[in-house]
Chains A and B, each alone.
Chain A
Amino acid sequence: MTLPLPDLAAEFAACLHTAVPPAASPPENPSANGARTGAGAAPANSGAIREVEFSAKGFHLDVTVGIDGVVSAAEFLDRKGFALDAITGVDWIGEQEMEVVYDFFHPAAPWRVVARTRIPRATPVVSSIAKVFPGANWHEREAHDFFGIVFSGHPQLEPLLLPEDATYHPLKKDFQP
């Protein structure tokens, strides 16, 4: 249970590289690299795992996965006993990208893992992890409400917090009320 953090990172990396199809695992959209206005959080290449200083950041592992690696990353963390903390988005309008951030915590060990992926802002589609973590259902609906991110395979992608007829996505940076 108490796998040391470097081992976990290594295992995670191995898992991601095997699970991610070779087509998607090479560095995706190099345009994102460095172009990000608020750079500094994570390298934008796929499958990158960084250990970060908890006291400075608030999490231990910063994992960047490709669009197709989301479900296998969630499955890996599920096997390791992680619990879903939150799913949210960040709208990087400068790069025309949408970042989907998955936070995980561990109920038995003091670990915090952040998994993130970048999707094009024009077609924000990413696989749903609601099958792995049923709790993701609501978080994904919320992210869909706020950012318009489409979680493919989601059982019920309807507005949760916004009115049921809402067609706007208020947390998009170009949202006009």
Chain B
Amino acid sequence: MFTLNLGPQHPATHGVLRVKMTMDGEYIRRAEPVPGYIHRMHEKMGENRTWAQYLPNTSRVDYLSAMHYTHAYVGVVERALGLKPPPRAEYIRVITSELNRISSHLVWLGAFLLDLGGFTPLLYAFDDREKILDLLEGITGARLTYCYYRFGGLCNDVDDTFVRGAQEFVAYMRPRLSMYQTLVTDNIILQKRLVGIGLITSEQCRKYGATGPVIRGSGVAYDVRRVEPYSVYPELDFDIPVFPEGDSMARYRVRMEEMAQSLRIIEQALARLPDGPVMAANVPRVLKLPAGDYCYAVEAARGRFMVRIVSDGGEVPYRVKLRTPSFSNLSLFEETSRGLLLPDAIALLGSLDLVIPDVDR
């Protein structure tokens, strides 16, 4: 028995996560994640700036799915104000959110396979992701930490270049996904490393509040886009991929399938994209939210992201709570990694798709 410190600087922890492992040879007796190395206290920052000034902060929490995070924050403020963004803005939000979801899953795909010792898929995934980043850069001006959504709409409209580019991307990405299927998913070594490894039951997901691909890989069709519909998702036709096995392969397959579903959503949203303004007309210049507390949840790339705000009627939030999916997803690592071998635990850690700033906030 010995203690092994995995991290805070370790190639498999994607950032600065530390896992304190009590090992028996290569078997893990207890693996206790020690987060907090890049804690930035975003929630306190929220109490020190106005509602609008806090908006860019939310995109820095999970830098890989910034669109979803700003969506949740913008959504909660709109909910409190009773604002309704125009339909064109809602459709563009859906398109950009889903593009962001694909780009986030592509980073996960590359990084996950890097954890498993496969180097090449990373470059292929980043190649595809680059196309999304270029598209989003064209309309938002940022490549990663987008601050595109505004209370009541968007900061600017999309142009034809973006619409055409998104259509081309959908057509380009479909064959790429089937290429990943044959090159990566069907690889026998990958199958051996993922099938039956790192089992997470649906009950564990519920007890720990794990969401996103983790709970869907355990056979529960929980998706915030369905159960707490927001934006124009109810008008769009898409499936929630669910795999009941609960192993790392199930989570892998959920994410791969989700990319295909996101493409479907983008395609439909592009086809229906209405004309009109992208900003609601009645947005007040100085935001003062009615007192009370409000929640708004979105399905981010890693799972359920909820913003809970408490307003005392002032220009500055009284309290902002960011409920991040990686935090809950990581909290079940200690229980599920017990008795695993070190490389299997790495596979499990990778299949949770952690973004450490998202855990630490």
| Complex contact flag A–B (Cβ < 8 Å) | yes
User: Which B290-313 residues have a C-beta within 8 angstroms of A?
Assistant: 290-297, 304, 306, 308, 310-313
Classify the secondary structure of A's interface with B: loop
Binary A-proximity of B214-230 (CB < 8 A = 1, otherwise 0): 01000010100011100
Contact A107 B35 (CB under 8 A): no
Indicate the member of B47, B297, B308, B311 with the most A CB atoms within 10 Å: B308
Contact A55 B79 (CB under 8 A): yes
User: Which A95-151 residues have a C-beta within 8 angstroms of B?
Assistant: 101, 103, 105-110, 112, 114, 133-135, 137-138, 142, 146
Complex Cα distance A83/B311, Å?
Answer: 26
**Which residues of chain B have C-beta atoms less than 8 A from A90's C-beta?**
293, 310, 318-319
A-side interface size class: 35 or more
Complex Cα distance A84/B296, Å?
Answer: 16
Contact B36 A161 (CB under 8 A): yes
B308 touches which of A39, A83, A88, A110 (Cβ 8 Å): A88
User: Which B177-209 residues have a C-beta within 8 angstroms of A?
Assistant: 202, 205-209
Chain A: minimal CB distance from B63 (Å): 18
Residue on B nearest A54 in the bound complex, by CB:
B228
Binary B-proximity of A50-82 (CB < 8 A = 1, otherwise 0): 000011111100000000000000000000011
B94 on interface, CB distance cutoff 8 Å: no
Contact A40 B222 (CB under 8 A): no
Known: A108-B220, A135-B328. A103 touches B306 (CB 8 A): yes
B209 touches which of A83, A101, A159, A162 (Cβ 8 Å): A83
Contact A38 B310 (CB under 8 A): yes
A176 on interface, CB distance cutoff 8 Å: no
B143 on interface, CB distance cutoff 8 Å: no
Residue on B nearest A60 in the bound complex, by CB:
B228
B207 touches which of A39, A108, A109, A133 (Cβ 8 Å): A133
Contact B36 A162 (CB under 8 A): yes
Contact B206 A112 (CB under 8 A): no
Contact B206 A83 (CB under 8 A): yes
Residue on A nearest B226 in the bound complex, by CB:
A110
B271 on interface, CB distance cutoff 8 Å: no
Known: A40-B290, A41-B310. A170 touches B41 (CB 8 A): yes
Chain B: minimal CB distance from A43 (Å): 12
**Which residues of chain A have C-beta atoms less than 8 A from B290's C-beta?**
40
B361 on interface, CB distance cutoff 8 Å: yes
Chain B: minimal CB distance from A95 (Å): 12
Contact B308 A38 (CB under 8 A): no
A135 touches which of B47, B209, B304, B311 (Cβ 8 Å): B209
Complex Cα distance A39/B293, Å?
Answer: 10
B148 on interface, CB distance cutoff 8 Å: no
**Which residues of chain B have C-beta atoms less than 8 A from A106's C-beta?**
227
Contact B39 A114 (CB under 8 A): no
Contact B331 A83 (CB under 8 A): no
B294 touches which of A57, A83, A133, A170 (Cβ 8 Å): A57
A28 on interface, CB distance cutoff 8 Å: no
Task: Please give the residue numbers on chain A whose beta carbons come within 8 Å of chain B beta carbons, in ascending order.
Answer: 37-41, 54-59, 81-86, 88, 90-91, 101, 103, 105-110, 112, 114, 133-135, 137-138, 142, 146, 159-163, 170-171, 175
A-B pairs with beta carbons under 8 Å apart, 20 shown? A38-B292, A58-B297, A59-B295, A83-B206, A84-B208, A86-B323, A90-B310, A90-B318, A101-B308, A103-B306, A103-B308, A106-B227, A107-B205, A107-B220, A107-B222, A108-B220, A134-B332, A135-B209, A135-B331, A138-B327
